[in-house]
Chain A
């Protein structure tokens, strides 16, 4: 009889992500933390991406909001830019990252994390179709 190991439940999974975020990730060009430290269900998160080299985004700081609902991580969080940005996968009106246009959200797997989303978004900024897009002024928000 084979037995697959029960997966880490939502809350403990988010606690793991929180601890990882608190320690700091890699070179620090992406980071995230809880938006509301009092929310025991850890739903609202803030992410930050520092724009990658060799792109119009270089050195710019982008803030994002991530929302992990009850069904996270079975379902992806909803992700939207708070800082204004011009990217093909981002809705120009609302700043929402449109899952259909962004692979990691479209093909979500429960192993993926918020860190993966932010890292992928940073890569996306340096992709040929986004690298040279004219950007709104820094410091403006959706």
Chain B
């Protein structure tokens, strides 16, 4: 069950190794590199329980840019999701993907943070104005919409 990919991508100026260490050990998260591009990953995150996304299977894509790990990985949702910090194109507003990035963070921690964001939406720092407004004015209704969308777009195989 422990899914370890020891990655040996030789890069200037130093090797980046083991950045996938422990990805598989996090429950509800998987990431596998694409065949054509070793820095491009297909990611799957299960909607956390007790969240409107529970039961959903969310597809994401992740890319390690040339500057990685000095620059953050690029991640976005491919599955449509109703969330104040995720926009229509699946782009994610998360501090560690931007100014709070640290090279000591790993893909695993990034994906865990995204999963945590699903459990705790933050409408005060929105990426999707409308959704955030909905969340703030009528949270119950917004949560309903999020559940519907999960049903609609994230329940497939």
B74 contacts across to A, CB distance below 8 A: 12, 15
Interface residues on A, range: 10 to 19
Binds A, one of B17-25, B36-44, B105-113, B144-152: B36-44
Give the shortest distance, in Å, between B148 (CB) and chain A (any CB).
16
Q: Given A1-B10, A6-B40, A40-B89, A11–B80 Cβ distance below 8 Å?
A: no
Q: Decide if A38 touches B88 in the complex (CB within 8 Å).
A: yes
- Residues of B2-28 at the interface with A, using a CB-CB cut-off of 8 Å, are 9-11
Chain B 58-102 against A: per-residue CB contact (8 Å), 1 yes, 0 no? 000101011000000010101010000000111100000000000
Measured CB to CB, the closest approach of chain A to B77, in angstroms, equals 8
From B9, B10, B63, give the contact of A9 (CB < 8 A).
B63
Contacting residues, chain A, for B10 (C-beta < 8 A): 1, 3
Assess the B40–A37 pair: CB atoms within 8 A.
Answer: no
A11 close to B88 (CB less than 8 A): no
Query: With an 8 A cutoff between CB atoms, is A8 at the interface?
Result: yes
A12-B74, A15-B76 known; A40 vs B90 contact (CB < 8 Å): yes
In the bound complex, what is the Cα–Cα distance between A8 and B63 (angstroms)?
A: 8
Taking CB atoms, residues of chain B closer than 8 Å to A38 are: 88
Do residues A42 and B89 form an inter-chain contact, with CB atoms below 8 A? yes
When the two chains form their complex, are residues B89 and A15 in contact, meaning their CB atoms are under 8 A apart? yes
- Min C-beta distance of A29 to chain B, whole Å: 26
Q: Mark A1-39, 1 if CB is under 8 A from B, else 0.
A: 101011111011001001000000000000000000110
| Residues in chain B within 8 A of chain A (CB atoms) | 9-11, 34, 37-40, 61, 63, 65-66, 74, 76, 78, 80, 88-91
**Mind listing 10 A-B residue pairs with CB under 8 Å?**
A6-B39, A7-B37, A8-B65, A9-B34, A9-B61, A12-B61, A15-B74, A37-B89, A40-B89, A42-B89
Q: Given A3-B10, A3-B11, A15-B76, 19 more contacts at CB 8 Å?
A: A1-B10, A5-B66, A6-B38, A6-B39, A6-B40, A8-B63, A9-B34, A9-B37, A9-B40, A9-B61, A11-B61, A11-B76, A12-B63, A12-B76, A15-B89, A18-B89, A37-B88, A37-B89, A40-B80
